[in-house]
Amino acid sequence: MSGREIIRDELLSRDVFTLAGADRYATAIVTALTAAGYRLIGPGEVDPVTVERCAEIARAAHISHAPGLDGYNIDVATALRSLTEAKP
């Protein structure tokens, strides 16, 4: 179930909205959150932006603390980045 569907169902449970109205409001809420820079991440999903930040931090930390492990640094970053491609 998507974040939009959860919001829609919650609106419907209030007995104030029709299905069409709840759909419109749920879509508007998700659109506003997205426009503000928020990302709705479902269970078992990963956020590619956050994973990329982690990969860069891991790479930079290893380079600054252990310059001789450059190949290892790339492997850590590659492994982290592969999370965005994995399907549960």
Residue 29 located in a structural domain: yes
Residue 41 located in a structural domain: no
pLDDT value of position 53: 84
Q: Quote the domain boundaries for residue 77.
A: 48-82
Residue 20 located in a structural domain: yes
Separation in Å, CA 69 to CA 6, 17, 58, 62, 80: 46, 59, 12, 7, 17
How far apart CA 6 and CA 15 sit, in angstroms, is 15
Residue 62 located in a structural domain: yes
pLDDT value of position 82: 82
What mean pLDDT comes out for the span 61-84? 65
The structural domain count of the chain equals 2
Dihedral, CA of residue 16, residue 2, residue 26 and residue 7, to nearest 10: 40
Residue 87 located in a structural domain: no
pLDDT value of position 55: 81
Q: For 1-59, what is each residue's pLDDT tens digit?
A: 899 999 999 999 998 899 999 999 999 999 999 999 998 888 888 888 888 888 887 77
